[in-house]
Amino acid sequence: MTRGPLTNLPSDAHHIFAPWVGQRSATFRFELVNGITGAFLGEITPVRDASLTHDTTRIIKRILRINLGAADTAHVNPVTDRVDVYMVFRQEGGHEHPLGRYMFTDAQLAKYTSGKLGSYALLDEMFIIDQQVTIGISGGGRPVPTLIRDVLRDVSIPIPYTLETSPYVSVESWGIGTGRGQVLESLALSGDYFGPWFGNDRLLHFIRSFDPAQRVPDFDFDNSSNVSRDDIIEAGDLLTAPNRFIVVSNTAQDPTQPVVGVADVPVTAPHSAANRGFVIPIVINLQVADAPQASAVARNLAIRQDVFERVTLATAPDPRHDSYNVVRWQSQLWLELGWTMTLVEGGAMVHTLRRVYR
C-alpha cells in the first residue's frame, strides 16, 4: 500500500502505477452460472475482443460483448445462463475484483467445419426489471423510496438493491405498457437520485445526487502514471449548452403556490450566464409536488448534464470504477459518466469524464 493525496478509495500499487511500479500480472475470469438456481456451470474463455461498457446515460447501464469458440458456444444456454466477470490479480494469492453479472440478450452464430462460433451481447440484470408494466402505477403523493420499493417488488424475481433515503414524494403516474426502467429513472429524478445502476457487487444502486465539487475524489489520476495510453480527446458544446435549468409542474400540494425550481450552473463554468453575458435556459415540465422538490430536480439535472467540457482518456484496466465516480485529473475534479474496459490485461480502459466547476 502506497501513500498519496486523500481519496475515498485506498491507494493501491496494483492500480495507481507509481513510477517505481514496473509491471503487474492480472487476467480476467468468466464464470457461467444458471440464472435460476445460481449453480456454477464452469468457466468460459472469450477468444478475442471482449469488452465491458458502462454508460450512465442509458437505462440499462452496462453491456458485455464476448466471442466464444466452438466448445464454449456449445456449452452455453443463452436463455438460462448468466456470466459473472472478475479481474484477477496474480499477486497476493490471486485477489479477485468482481465486475458484475450479465445475461445474454443477443446471439449470432457462425457455422464452420469445426462447429459454431458465438458472438454475444449481454446486458446487466436491469434487463429483467426493464420490462413493460402490466398494471398502471400512480405516485399519489407517496414517498419516492416507498414507490421505488413497490415497483421493484412487482418484478417477477427478487431484486437485491440499496436505496438511500429521500424526503420527496411522487405525484407522477405511468400507464400499462410503460417500461419499468423508465419508471425507475423518472422516480430517481423526482427523488433527487442519480440514475439507478447494477454495480460491480451485483446490487441495484440508488444514490442521492451530489455536487462533485464538494466531494473527496474516488480516484487521483495526478498521483499515478495511469493516464498514459492513446490520445486524450477534449470535447464539449459550450457554445450552445444551457446554463439555467428550470423545472415547472402543474401538480402541487397547495394549488395556490406555483411549482417552479431553478438551478444555474456555477459562475466559474465557462458557459455560465456571468461568463456568456446572457442566460440560455432549458425548461423541463415534470410532475413534482412543491417548489423545494422542483429546485432539487433542477440542481440534479444541472449536475447530470453531459453536454459540455468532456474529456476522453485511457488508462490500464481498473476494476474499482463503478458509477458516478469523482476523479481528480490535472488538478481538477471530474465526474465519470462512463467507461469501456477491454477485458484483457494490457488492454485499455477508456473513461469519459465531465468537468466539475466550483
Q: What's the pLDDT tens digit per position in 131-143?
A: 999 999 998 889 9
Look at residue 355 in the predicted model and tell me its pLDDT. 81
- Say if residue 60's pLDDT is above 70: yes
pLDDT for 300 equals 82
Q: What is the mean pLDDT of the chain?
A: 86
Query: What is the spatial distance between Cα 6 and Cα 217, in angstroms, rounded to a whole number?
Result: 8
Instruction: Round to whole Å and give the CA distance between 231 and 229.
Output: 7
Summarize the confidence of residues 309-330 as an average pLDDT: 89
Nearest of 280, 283, 281, 282 to residue 248 by alpha carbon: 283
Tens-place pLDDT, residues 95-114: 889 999 999 999 898 888 77
Q: Which residue has the higher pLDDT, 10 or 35?
A: 35
Percent helix, strand, coil in the chain, to 5, is: 15, 40, 45
Strand ranges of the sheet holding 281-285, from the earlier edge strand across to the other edge: 259-264, 244-249, 281-285
* pTM (two decimals): 0.83
Highest mean pLDDT among 47-51, 142-146, 269-273, 298-302: 142-146
As a whole number, mean pLDDT of residues 194-215 equals 93
Task: Read off the pLDDT band of 3 (50, 70, 90).
Answer: very low
Check if the beta carbon of residue 123 is closer than 8 Å to that of residue 60: yes
Q: Is the pLDDT of residue 306 over 90?
A: no
Of 354 and 73, the structure prediction assigns the larger pLDDT to 73
Q: Look up the CATH number of domain 13-125+213-233+311-355.
A: 2.30.300
Rounded mean pLDDT, 36-64: 95
Residue 345 has pLDDT above 60, yes or no: yes
Structural domain spans, the chain: 13-125+213-233+311-355, 128-206, 237-304
pLDDT band at 311 (very low <50, low <70, confident <90, very high): confident
Query: Could you write out the DSSP letters of every residue in 295-355?
Result: HHHHHHHHHH--SSSEEEEEES--TT--SS-EEEETTEEEEEEEEEEESSTT--EEEEEEE
Residue, of 294 and 161, whose pLDDT is higher: 161
Instruction: Single out the residue of 45, 41, 22 nearest to residue 33, CA to CA.
Output: 41
pLDDT at position 139: 87
Lowest mean pLDDT among 11-20, 48-57, 246-255: 11-20
pLDDT exceeds 70 at position 339: yes
Q: Which is nearest to 253 in space by CA: 351, 146, 164, 171?
A: 171
